[in-house]
Chain A
Amino acid sequence: MTKAILSSYIKKNTFIHKLNPLTKLIFLVAVIITVFAVKSFIYNLIIVLAIIPLAYSAKLLSKVFKPLRYLFIIFIVLYGIQSFLYPEKETILIDFGYGIAIWEEGVLFATIISLRLLAMIVHGYFFVLVTHPGDLVCSLRKIKFPYKFGYIVLSTLQVIPRVASQMETIIDAQKSRGLETKGSIANRLKAYSPLLGPLFLGSVQNVVERTIALESRAFSYETEKTSYRETYVRKKDKIIMASIVVFFTLYGVISWIL
């Protein structure tokens, strides 16, 4: 039967899992800033590949690349459009004649964008895998983030797996009514697109119901709230946080100098 989905978090007993969520959050933010700040794509590639040792040490190597299969189409579209239509084109890679050609600058640009996307998604997903959502909210509140903001973070983390499983049920129901979902990408898009309506409406309806459920449990009552979970910023967290900031600053600077 279906199991209750809290978030994508997978419980393991590793060094990375035991770190304070803020340490991991700072790492994620540093990664995202850096992939946009550095100049050449080699540096972005290194950051993307850095996920492999990280995921290995967290015993999640097989899980961390899961979201990539959904990105496939985005990459195709990105390369398709940019290779042909990038505005600052100078060097022709492949000429098809009639003014249609693949341009080197376009391919390079598409590569940089894809690597940025990849880095954000892989590292972002890794963050979600190793961070208990409750711990994240608890530690955010300790650094004075508002309670409601904490809830927004928490519900966002929960919403993705929930929508995914809802989507699966809806697709199963339509397959049972003879909807063919195998075949070419065009076929699949045609099959899936009418299902987005009910999925979206269902999510909105869900929000309304959640609001009522939360309010009936005094969500917006003005008082100091206690937390069921407890997190601490330990010495190792402080050292790692400082190292992250120093390392990524240097990394960015080096990418500009070399």
Chain B
Amino acid sequence: MSENVIEIKNLSFTYPAGVEALKDINLEIKKGEIVAIIGQNGSGKTTLVKHFNGLLQPTSGTVIINGKDAKQSTTAQLSREVGYVFQDPDDQLFMSKVKDEIAFGPKNLKMKKNEVNKRVRDTLKLVKLWKFRNTHPLDLNLDDKKLIAIASIIAMNPHVIILDEPTSGQDHRGILRAESLIKKLSKEHTIIIISHDMDLVSKIAQRVIVMYNSKILMTGTPKEVFIKTSLLAKTHLKPPLITQLSQKTKGMRSDILSIDEFIEELKTKKPHSSKSR
């Protein structure tokens, strides 16, 4: 049994304006897990993850991070353990050079100068953007900006990394890059992603949490979640296209998540007898 890094009990949250954004959430996230949170806009995904690093405090219920009540620490203190990459990199990036941007987090954690420099170099090499170290972050294209935003969190080396929409607005190459980076990171970190990109979710998530109307509607492996099409339809979510195709094809399994899997399944089927003489 691996231990829980995040434990949430009976969490409810109401915004000051009176909007009840989370209702009685119970959730445990284990060390090393890759969890995807999906759901419509406004279903409470972002509100939920903002509790993981203390940006929001529960109206009722408890949030335990690494065995400690999140109430007792500030967001800045929690940032050692939980890193949160915002959806829009423009909200996050504000330094005039990429390398300063990456150094900002480690410096806040009061690291020594050569340690900061080492982190900057290692992180930028990991995301393959070392060549842009002296560029202004806002001069980069969106794909690179998103990577820099992720890198600025990686450099702080938090155990948990939350990624809000890591692939939104990106081209195919950008999506593939983000995907392989997340896979690399998942070897040493617990990853939580919020995404509308069902392909990404089905490829990388070990567990999917579906949110609907401020509550957790269901949770399970991608295969378990994507076969429950009627429940998903309630939240206007659809499984990846290849899964939909296999679900609508006679004789195919309904929990196929990738093209390779689809082809493998096809090979096991016998050709139709009508062609034989």
Contact = CB atoms under 8 A, between A and B. Distances in A.
Interface in A165-220: 166, 169-170, 172-182, 194-195, 197-198, 201-202
Interface in B121-166: 138, 152-153, 156
Contact of B74 (A174, A180, A195, A202): A180
A1 B43 CA distance: 8
Interface in B141-198: 152-153, 156
B55 A180 contact: no
Nearest to B56: A172
A172 to B, nearest CB: 5
A177 B17 contact: no
B105 A178 contact: yes
B92 interface: yes
B210 interface: no
Contacts of B152: 177
A1 B46 contact: yes
Contacts of A182: 74, 76
A177 B47 contact: no
Interface string B22-47: 00000000000000000001111011
Contact of A1 (B44, B91, B94, B138): B44
A169 B86 contact: yes
A179 B156 CA distance: 12
A165 to B, nearest CB: 11
Contacts of B19: 3
A178 B91 CA distance: 15
A208 to B, nearest CB: 14
A177 B108 contact: yes
Nearest to A202: B90
A191 to B, nearest CB: 9
A85 to B, nearest CB: 36
A178 B41 contact: no
Nearest to A166: B91
Contacts of A169: 86, 88, 91
Interface residues of B, number: 34
B86 A176 contact: yes
A138 to B, nearest CB: 26
A202 B17 CA distance: 26
Nearest to B108: A178
Nearest to B95: A194
18 contacts: A1-B42, A3-B17, A169-B86, A169-B88, A173-B91, A176-B75, A176-B84, A177-B105, A177-B108, A177-B152, A177-B153, A177-B156, A179-B104, A179-B108, A180-B108, A181-B76, A182-B74, A198-B90
Interface of B: 17, 19, 21, 41-44, 46-47, 50, 53, 55, 74-76, 79-80, 83-84, 86, 88, 90-94, 104-105, 108-109, 138, 152-153, 156
Given A177-B152, A179-B76, A180-B108, 19 more contacts: A1-B41, A1-B44, A169-B86, A170-B91, A172-B75, A172-B86, A173-B92, A175-B75, A176-B55, A177-B105, A177-B108, A177-B153, A178-B76, A180-B76, A182-B76, A194-B94, A197-B94, A198-B90, A201-B138
10 nearest A-B pairs in the assembled complex, by CB-CB distance: A178-B108, A175-B75, A176-B84, A173-B92, A177-B105, A198-B94, A178-B79, A180-B76, A1-B42, A173-B86
